[in-house]
Amino acid sequence: MKKCKPGFWALAAVLALACLAAAQDGPDVTFKFKKIAVPKTEQTSIYGINNSGAMVGYYMDKTGTIHGLLLLNGEVTNIDDPNGVCCTEPINVSSNGTIVGNYGTFIEGNQAIASFVYQNGQFSDVGPTGCLNSAAAGINDSGEIVGWCTDSSDVVHGYLQNSEGITFLDYPGANDFTLAWGINNAGLVTLQWIDSNGNYEGATYNSATQEYSGPINVPGAAQTYIHSINNENDIAFSWYDASGNSYGALQIGATGDFCTFSDPHGPDYTRPDGINDSVDIVGRWEKTGGKYERGFEATIKKGTCGDLQLMGKGSATTGEAGVTKSSQRIQSPRSQRSLSAN
């Protein structure tokens, strides 16, 4: 396999070194962290987790070669698309084990990435045709896939692919950049978009009503990157402060409240990406001044986040308010159930 620079951002392995860390803006929330690293490698980056605890991402071996990664019950399986000249990067995995992501290729002589789906041991290309670059980033249990495509004018479009075909998702007012990352079983899609000032913001798309939400941003963030969403509409975020340091955030779907946190190994570089229905969050950290990422899994040990009392594994009862709320509540697009706290 040839070497090349990862086409996405960067993508478990031996679980080790469990530790505790308090949320930055919610000091009464305690997360338990596990470090995830494939042995004898330079880098391990984790992007997605399903309800069975299967994790996907990638690792870089000592020669600099990138391998796609599935971690299940402590066993590492390489996920390398045979169409790729390098750098298969799984990004998400559904509850039935279907994996989506991107692989490195060449289009018109230029290094590029293309979307794939891996199911029952078989790789298939997915997403729009004619893209200069594309990646599949999210999949739900119905097999609906979301991702993004760069067109010939260098405009980035989100896309939703299902049995009805492909729908392009372009957030109103976005500055030529909309990226679809996650989708839950209700069909609610998370979107990253760039505003007129060049800042990253978040939003959602309701695939049932075909409506976009207002902006969803981590309070106080200079840049907000929205990532995966679970079936309770809880969302994992990463965000940057004005100094360029990156942190994690969890938005509670029932209230819209945020809890922010950092992996103690990477206090100024923590990048959550995936979340499952048990509110297990996975992502990447890098030590200060470091060169390579490592993966993490974070679970809520105890504490309150906004209006919810959290007791590990995502269980919740009414509790005390404690974290700044966002201005955007999230509605489930198909059940239309109320998600406001009682």
pLDDT score of 306: 54
- Report whether CATH 2.120.10.30 matches the domain 14-318: yes
Q: Which amino acid is at 139?
A: I
- Rounded Cα distance between 48 and 207, Å, is 22
pLDDT score of 82: 95
Residue of 216, 219, 222 lying closest to 26 (CA atoms): 219
Q: Two tokens at 246?
A: 């990156």
- Rounded Cα distance between 43 and 284, Å, is 10
pLDDT in tens, 92-114: 999 999 999 999 998 777 889 99
The mean pLDDT of the chain is 83
User: What value, to the nearest 5°, has the Cα angle with vertex 103 and ends 271 and 92?
Assistant: 45
| Beta-carbon-side half-sphere exposure of residue 48 (alpha carbons within 13 Å) | 31
pLDDT score of 126: 97
- Tell me the C-alpha to C-alpha distance, in Å, between residue 128 and each of 109, 192, 321, 329: 20, 18, 44, 31
Pairing mode of beta strands 133-139, 122-125: unpaired
pLDDT score of 72: 95
pLDDT in tens, 241-276: 999 999 999 998 988 889 899 999 999 999 999 999
Instruction: Give pTM, 2 decimals.
Output: 0.84
- Tell me which residues of the chain have a pLDDT lower than 50: 1-27, 311-342
CB 248 within 8 A of CB 298: yes
Phi and psi of 252, rounded to 5°? -80, 120
Ordered by start, the domain boundaries in the chain are 14-318
pLDDT score of 151: 96
